[in-house]
Chain A
Amino acid sequence: MNHRLTIKLSGSEGAVIRALGLIERRGFSLGKCSVGEADISGRVMKVSVSSTRPGELLKRQLERLHDVFHVELKPVAAVKPRTLGIRPVTLKEH
């Protein structure tokens, strides 16, 4: 299953690597990742992840970190193979 996470976290030293390390360590592969500029309120990280494990689990484990303030989790549907709308035929039918 694929998920997109929007993580609001502290701007303190180590916060980003702490969160990224946890994501991989808990069995989620990192896809795209963007880390915003830190300001007085912290920063925002957007990460896409994939795993056989439920995304909800990762959300709660991230939120348990003192550096992480909030995690928004969105499942992302896997890309379906495109069909051309043609009924499949077998040789017999000809």
Chain B
Amino acid sequence: MTTETRQKLILVVDDEPDVITYLTTLLEDNGYATDSAVNGTEAMAKLRQLKPDLITLDISIPEKSGVRVYREMKEDPDLAHIPVLVITAVTGYGGKPEVFEQFLSSRKHIPPPEGFIDKPLEDREGLLRKIADLLA
């Protein structure tokens, strides 16, 4: 961590306080700045206000689901470039993340999310590598 380079800011969106604590601790330990949101409305507000470098997004969150947050982001020219890592325990669609990924991007030529990670995190180092790649 050099003082010249600004710390990258990651927004953690999840309604489970435990997940927020876990991910923010993990990310801060690896040199990132973090902020968090516990529902879709708060997530959209913080996205616009903070313009984070990346977000981790849970799908089953109150007020505005992760799916809606994702679509709204990708349709907003100011936010569309921000990489999104979906981190979810949603097990629909036969438990296949690819199918869910397709669903997320099924409308209006929305691209699939930059990353899709199942809860619990089976490969913590892999997640960190993925984030580093996306922020490079």
Q: Do these two chains really belong together in a complex? A: no
Name A residues whose Cβ lies closer than 8 Å to a Cβ of B. Answer: none
Instruction: Point out residues on B near A: beta carbons under 8 Å.
Output: none
